Amino acid sequence: MTPVSRPRVLAVVGSLQARSSNGSIVDALVPMLGGGVEVTRTRALHELPPFNSDLESENVPDAVTAWRNELASATAVVFATPEYAFGIAGALKNALDWVVGSGELVGKPVFLIGVSTMPTGASYALEALERTLKVMSAEVLGTLSIGHVRAKLDTEGRVTDGGTSDALEALASKIVDRLIA
């Protein structure tokens, strides 16, 4: 009998900071998904070179090939983005630019989290990210906006706000329902 593989979620944190609020929120989400889902947090954003369409199909950098393979092997993707100047982080946009034409996100279920110190909860970044992913034919199935994030995390980056925990649980349920249904 062939073993049944667990659904694989690729977590993409748009902030490159070692201790980012976005990373903390993803860390809080992962155990809520339960043991039936395998989660990998990519380091691709740290390793990808700036997008250059001259290298898109020939002489593709190894980091780009690895990024494309991570996306292709994922059952679903969770993107967590900060908001910089009302847009998504440059490193995240760069990573998406590398896969616009290669198709790894076509039809892929994706879930979005916007994290901000502002009360708007990265709503502008979420709008931009959702628009970009839809143009790439990804299937956006859930969005969560978290504002005033610093007041919702302790000094170790753990979620201390009940409403935020509840919202993360609801998103986790949506992800699990989609993957295990």
Whole-number pLDDT of residue 166:
97
Select from 87, 107, 111 the least CA-distant residue to 37. 111
pTM metric for this prediction: 0.94
- Per-residue pLDDT, 18: 85
Quote the pLDDT of residue 146.
96
Q: What is residue 180's predicted lDDT score, i.e. its pLDDT?
A: 84
Geometric angle at alpha carbon 174, from 137 and 93, rounded to 5°: 40
| pLDDT per residue as tens, the chain (181 positions) | 545 588 999 999 999 988 899 999 999 999 999 999 999 999 999 999 999 999 987 889 999 999 999 999 999 999 999 999 999 999 999 999 999 999 999 999 999 999 999 998 899 999 999 999 999 999 999 999 999 999 999 999 999 999 999 999 999 999 999 998 6
Would strands 76-81 and 139-146 be described as parallel, antiparallel, or unpaired?
Answer: unpaired
CATH architecture of 12-46+64-180: 3-Layer(aba) Sandwich (3.40)
Task: Give the per-residue pLDDT at 3.
Answer: 53
The set of residues, in sequence order, having a beta carbon less than 8 Å from that of 145 and lying 6+ positions away, is 113, 114, 116, 120, 121, 122, 123, 126
Contact between 111 and 143 (Cβ < 8 Å)? yes
Per-residue pLDDT at 181:
66
Which residue blocks in 74-161 are alpha helix, DSSP H? 90-97, 123-135
Residue 5: per-residue pLDDT: 80
Q: How do the domains of the chain map onto residue ranges?
A: 12-46+64-180
Q: How confident is the model at residue 4, as a pLDDT?
A: 55
